[in-house]
């Protein structure tokens, strides 16, 4: 198997493509978490009083909580007093930054990541909010969107410009009492994206946020809030990367989606945080709370995620199907290679009548990776004729990895119908042989088969992302065949 050895060597020497570090002058808070730090973050952002009060309430609640330990992931305890909770590149001047004022070094960083923010090179049809460590450095196409009445800006700007909307909706989907990481995020969140689509507006372009962790020893705590008013539609993308470091960094985000009557939100994630090296050193701890509230009748929320990065993923994008005839969807590809661990899945809570949900989860484990699907389907008593279909497949590449499925099904209504199916398998030798025979290398054959296996999910992604996701999967798998 000389070809296999070559690919393994190629993989080892191949570095995580986004693992560079940008030298920028930053200002950061001292490490540790206490009321002063929270006050500092709040002052830095010139926040209204209600927000500071909310943060402090969340902080006090967090102090009473314990870290969840039910997930099938293992990691040394996180010292929350050693983390820097606020770090931002130094800004010239004050107030919301326009892109012209942004440090050219930051623009270069984003260009290197393939996300040009400059006017003439912008990705056509995609508006980007770029978040660097704790702050947003710029948002593109703001004016064009504003013309349609769409608000798309960083969370900080939203707090300044639309405090009434923030106050009305913040924490309505994920209250600060929700879980340990959501409480932590609520206390210290620094930035993120805010998006409001007015009644009847179909957002003309993809909205996206690109998250970048840069500074060492910091945690990233962003918060995204998307509100789709009656009859509106929005498609939202999220991407993320971080430098390669030997120590672990914490990322605890909260995403809240709210869809009113007949509104539709499509949320796609390509998560590519630094996964750690081949010995499992370093990498991001990705502890994220994402939830959508399909509040209105006929509303629809769809999550699509491609999880290839992070040392540990703890993430359950959920939908509360409150409106009658509402629809929830979850499509996921989660890949764990080397020593990565993922415990991910979804929650579908059916409250409204005739609500429907679909879950398609594809897990791939290679190397020493441990991949778990954990999902809850809950049909409440009033959810007559609710319908759920879940399909969870796992693919094992190699004999040192693990694939696990932990579905929870709770049904309290007779007229509803819930189905769950799961399979675990590996790539057959006959399939590889068939491809080899036709001149494909084993690595190419595996890539092809894996991409075919994930196709059902990839086709849910917007075009540009689907291509990126396919490439990413190819890179992440390299060296796993031998």
- Judged by CB under 8 A, which of 426, 432, 453, 464 binds other proteins? 426
# residues contacting other proteins (CB under 8 A): 36
Beta carbon of residue 306, minimum distance to other proteins (angstroms, whole number): 22
Identify which range of 36-44, 143-151, 286-294, 423-431 contacts other proteins by CB under 8 A. 423-431
Residue 341 as a binder of other proteins (CB under 8 A): the answer is no
- Give the residue with the Cβ less far from other proteins, 292 or 352: 352
- Give the residue with the Cβ less far from other proteins, 135 or 403: 403
Beta carbon of residue 77, minimum distance to other proteins (angstroms, whole number): 16
- Give the residue with the Cβ less far from other proteins, 365 or 460: 365
Binding mask 390-419 for other proteins (x = CB under 8 A): ----x-xxxxxxxxxxxxxxxxxxxxxxxx
- Give the residue with the Cβ less far from other proteins, 301 or 403: 403
User: Looking only at residues 272 through 331 of this chain, which bind other proteins when binding is defined by CB under 8 A?
Assistant: none
Identify which range of 47-55, 113-121, 156-164, 420-428 contacts other proteins by CB under 8 A. 420-428
Beta carbon of residue 107, minimum distance to other proteins (angstroms, whole number): 45
Beta carbon of residue 428, minimum distance to other proteins (angstroms, whole number): 10
Beta carbon of residue 174, minimum distance to other proteins (angstroms, whole number): 22
Beta carbon of residue 422, minimum distance to other proteins (angstroms, whole number): 5
Beta carbon of residue 344, minimum distance to other proteins (angstroms, whole number): 15
Identify which range of 206-214, 220-228, 259-267, 422-430 contacts other proteins by CB under 8 A. 422-430
Binding mask 72-111 for other proteins (x = CB under 8 A): x---------------------------------------
Residue 90: CB atoms within 10 Å: 9
Residue 351 as a binder of other proteins (CB under 8 A): the answer is no
- Give the residue with the Cβ less far from other proteins, 391 or 451: 391
Distance CA 228, CA 147 (A): 17
Beta carbon of residue 350, minimum distance to other proteins (angstroms, whole number): 12
Residues that bind other proteins in the complex, under the rule CB under 8 A: 70, 72, 379, 381, 394, 396-426
């Amino acid at each position: 198997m000389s070809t296999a050895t070559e690919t393994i060597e190629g993989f080892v020497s191949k570095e995580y493509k986004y693992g560079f570090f940008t030298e920028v002058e930053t200002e950061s808070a001292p490490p540790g978490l206490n009321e002063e730090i929270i006050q500092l973050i709040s002052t830095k952002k010139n926040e209204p009083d209600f927000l500071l009060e909310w943060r402090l309430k969340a902080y006090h609640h967090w102090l009473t909580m314990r870290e969840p330990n039910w997930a099938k992931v293992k990691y040394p305890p996180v010292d929350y007093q050693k983390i820097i909770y606020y770090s931002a590149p130094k800004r010239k001047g004050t107030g919301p930054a326009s892109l012209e004022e942004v440090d050219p070094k930051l623009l270069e960083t984003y260009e290197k990541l393939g996300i040009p923010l400059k006017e003439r090179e912008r990705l056509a049809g995609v508006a980007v909010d770029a978040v660097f460590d704790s702050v947003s450095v710029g948002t593109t196409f703001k004016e064009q969107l504003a013309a349609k009445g769409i608000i798309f800006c960083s969370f900080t700007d939203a707090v300044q410009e639309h405090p009434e909307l923030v106050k009305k909706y913040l924490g309505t989907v994920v209250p600060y009492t929700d879980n340990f990481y959501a409480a932590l995020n609520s206390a210290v969140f620094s930035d993120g994206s805010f998006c409001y689509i007015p009644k009847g507006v179909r957002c003309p372009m993809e909205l996206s946020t690109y998250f970048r962790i840069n500074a060492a020893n910091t945690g990233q705590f962003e918060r995204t809030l998307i509100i789709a008013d009656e009859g509106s539609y929005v498609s939202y993308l999220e991407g993320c990367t971080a430098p390669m470091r030997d120590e672990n960094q914490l990322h605890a985000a909260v995403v809240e989606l709210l869809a009113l009557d007949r509104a539709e939100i499509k949320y796609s994630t390509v998560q590519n945080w630094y996964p750690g090296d081949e010995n499992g050193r370093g990498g991001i701890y990705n502890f994220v709370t994402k939830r959508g509230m399909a509040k209105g009748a006929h509303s629809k929320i769809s999550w699509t995620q491609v999880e290839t990065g992070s040392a540990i993923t703890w993430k359950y994008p959920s939908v509360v199907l409150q409106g009658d005839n509402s629809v929830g969807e979850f499509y996921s590809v989660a890949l764990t290679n080397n020593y990565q661990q993922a415990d991910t899945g979804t929650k579908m809570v059916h409250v409204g009548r005739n609500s429907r949900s679909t879950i398609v989860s594809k897990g791939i484990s290679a190397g020493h990776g441990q991949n778990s699907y954990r999902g809850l389907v809950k049909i409440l008593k009033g959810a007559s004729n609710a319908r759920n279909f879940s399909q969870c497949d796992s693919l094992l590449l190699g004999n040192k990895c693990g694939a696990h499925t932990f579905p929870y099904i709770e049904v309290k209504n007779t007229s509803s119908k819930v189905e769950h199916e799961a399979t675990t398998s590996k790539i057959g030798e006959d399939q590889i042989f068939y491809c080899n025979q036709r001149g494909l290398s084993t690595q190419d054959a595996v890539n092809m088969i894996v991409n075919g296996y994930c196709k059902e999910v990839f086709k849910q992604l917007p075009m540009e992302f689907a291509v990126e996701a396919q490439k990413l999967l190819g890179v992440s798998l390299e060296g796993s065949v031998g």
